[in-house]
């Protein structure tokens, strides 16, 4: 390997010490300013390859390691000080003795308060003992291990005219660095070397309403599988607060980083007619203690019992706590159109006291990003005596309506809640594609290759689009 060294003109020790405060501050600001451009570029690359929750998690860990090697008395420490604009980070001496007996770390740190819009960073300079102190292969092996452990972005070898340099010892190190591509590091490569840790989030969904109105059935319909126990008995199956836990793992777009875990707990509450004010507060407070629900779904079916004063307290509490409210008329065909209309009228009257209705679409009324109300049929309704049969209706539209109403991590958690609802992803794929700006050719390719199984391939595309917006 042919290696060339450029002669560096360094300031003398006296020059560094005597640099005026004004000049030092100016040169430091100049260096920091130039580094901001690089770190900003790195952050842009990080945003392309990682999720925003991961970036926030490592915002304090944006560090770069640089290793300096060379014989004693060649000016490694002076080089560090020169790079740091004369701040005398590294010890220097006019003595014939080497300053560096052991590996020493000096760092240049950004001041986040000066540039609040840019993530803070830190550059670590590792000054190593003189290379002639290495013994046979032991020193070479130790140095290679040290370089790899520090995950360095740059290795600097220093030599001065007339100084000792054992090229037989340095060649294996240079070859090692070349194989690891330390000489070809780009900002994208640096991003790939960032340390990421597993992050976990917990979210709640509260489902409330009278007994026998189909709360558990609605939960199962939304999730696309049976997670809640249901019964056709006249006795309530939910006599106490119950929770159903969904664990989801979100793998980073960049496979080198670890995953993010989402735990979504669906709370199925006792029939609301049994609630006193104290009970309402007790049940809902228990849910709130776990974590603020991303949404509250209230169920009432035509002809069912509903205490509007308790519902008003519930809705008001949710709105004040920034919890999205979905008021749903379940079992929409069980009581006739007149009774269904009365339930929806009560919902509308209550919600308009907090926010004006902003639009109506697909049988769903929206009240800003505060609430919505609609009617659904969670399971097939069939009356053999009258020859009436009604299929599942309104579930996919309700899911999509909540998607369009939530933001940030709440949106992510909701998408994971309904991740296994194959019917939704297939039926609503066109609206999903439009909302998240997913490439249609990619979608068509997935449809051709995987058919009905394409749902599980759409979800990663959606999640990627969601995280890009965070």
pLDDT tens track for 211-268? 778 898 999 999 998 888 765 543 445 456 788 888 877 655 444 445 667 788 898 8
CB 355 within 8 A of CB 367: yes
Q: Which residues in the chain show pLDDT less than 70?
A: 1-62, 85-101, 110-121, 130-139, 162-167, 181-199, 230-240, 250-260, 271-281, 283, 286, 288-291, 305-306, 386, 451-456, 466-470
Buried b (16+ CB within 10 A) or exposed e, 368-382: eebbbbbbbbbbebe
Query: Residues of CATH 3.40.50.300 domain(s) within the chain?
Result: 199-408
CA 357, distance to chain mean position in Å, is 32
The closest of 121, 116, 123 to 42, measured between CA atoms, is 121
Helix (H, G, I), strand (E, B) or coil at 298: strand
State residue 191's pLDDT score.
47
CB 66 within 8 A of CB 125: yes
Cβ neighbour number for residue 124 with a 10 Å cutoff: 16
Q: How far apart are CA 216 and CA 207, in angstroms?
A: 8
Q: Are strands 63-70 and 242-250 parallel, antiparallel or unpaired?
A: unpaired
The closest of 207, 104, 106, 192 to 153, measured between CA atoms, is 192
Which residue, chain included where needed, has tokens 């989402």?
262
State residue 291's pLDDT score.
65
State residue 340's pLDDT score.
92
Topology at the third CATH level for domain 13-192: Rossmann fold (3.40.50)
Which residue, chain included where needed, has tokens 């100049």?
30
Q: Could you tell me the two tokens for 384?
A: 């053999």
State residue 209's pLDDT score.
84
Which residue, chain included where needed, has tokens 């779904």?
297
State residue 17's pLDDT score.
34
Sign of the torsion angle spanned by Cα atoms 35, 120, 249, 406: negative
Query: What is the spatial order of strands in the sheet that 371-375 belongs to?
Result: 242-250, 260-268, 199-209, 293-300, 324-329, 371-375, 364-367, 359-361
- Contacts (Cβ under 8 Å, ≥6 apart) of 425: 432, 454, 455, 458, 459
Q: CATH homologous superfamily of domain 199-408?
A: P-loop containing nucleotide triphosphate hydrolases (3.40.50.300)
State residue 231's pLDDT score.
54
Concatenated DSSP letters of 60-114: T--EEEEEEEE-TTS-HHHHHHHHTTS---S---SSSS-S-SS-EEEEEE--TTT
- 469, containing H or E segment: helix 455-469
């Amino acid at each position: 390997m042919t290696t060339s060294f450029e002669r560096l003109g360094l300031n003398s020790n006296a020059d560094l010490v005597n640099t005026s405060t004004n000049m030092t501050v100016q040169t430091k600001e100049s260096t920091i300013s130039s580094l901001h451009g690089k770190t900003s570029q790195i952050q842009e690359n990080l945003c392309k390859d990682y999720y925003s929750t991961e970036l926030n998690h490592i915002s304090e860990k944006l560090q770069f390691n640089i290793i300096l090697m060379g014989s004693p008395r060649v000016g490694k420490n002076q080089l560090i000080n020169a790079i740091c604009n004369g701040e005398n980070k590294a010890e220097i001496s006019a003595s014939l003795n080497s300053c560096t007996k052991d590996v020493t770390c000096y760092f240049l740190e950004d001041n986040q308060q000066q540039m609040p819009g840019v993530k803070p960073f830190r550059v670590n300079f590792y000054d190593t003992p003189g290379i002639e102190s290495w013994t046979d292969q032991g020193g070479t092996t130790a140095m290679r291990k040290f370089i790899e452990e520090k995950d360095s972005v740059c290795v600097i070898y220093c030599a001065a005219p007339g100084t000792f340099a054992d090229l037989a010892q340095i060649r294996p190190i240079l070859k090692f660095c070349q194989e690891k591509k330390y000489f070809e590091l780009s900002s994208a490569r640096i991003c790939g070397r960032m340390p990421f840790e597993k992050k976990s989030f917990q979210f709640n969904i509260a489902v409330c309403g009278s007994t026998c109105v189909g709360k558990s059935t609605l939960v199962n319909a939304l999730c696309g599988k049976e997670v809640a126990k249901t019964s056709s008995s006249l006795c309530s199956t939910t006599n106490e607060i119950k929770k159903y836990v969904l664990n989801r793992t979100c793998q980073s777009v960049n496979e080198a980083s670890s995953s993010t875990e989402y735990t979504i707990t669906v709370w199925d509450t006792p029939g609301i007619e049994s609630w006193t004010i104290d009970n309402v507060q007790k049940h809902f407070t228990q849910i709130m203690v776990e974590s603020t629900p991303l949404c509250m779904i209230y169920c009432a079916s035509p002809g069912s019992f509903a205490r509007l004063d308790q519902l008003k307290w519930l809705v008001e509490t949710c709105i004040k706590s920034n919890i999205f409210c979905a008021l749903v008329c379940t079992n929409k065909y069980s009581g006739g159109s007149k009774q269904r209309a009365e339930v929806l009228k009560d919902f509308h009257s209550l919600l308009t006291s907090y926010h004006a209705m902003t639009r109506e679409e697909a049988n769903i009324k929206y009240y800003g990003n505060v609430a919505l109300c609609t009617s659904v049929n969670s399971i097939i309704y069939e009356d053999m005596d009258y020859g009436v049969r009604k299929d599942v209706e309104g579930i996919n539209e309700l899911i999509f309506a909540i998607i369009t109403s939530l933001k940030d991590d709440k949106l992510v958690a909701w998408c994971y809640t309904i991740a296994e609802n194959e019917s939704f992803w297939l039926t609503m794929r066109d609206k999903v594609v439009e909302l998240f700006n997913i490439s249609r050719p990619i979608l068509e390719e997935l449809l051709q290759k995987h058919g009905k199984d394409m749902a599980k391939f759409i979800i990663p595309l959606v999640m990627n689009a969601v995280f890009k917006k965070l």
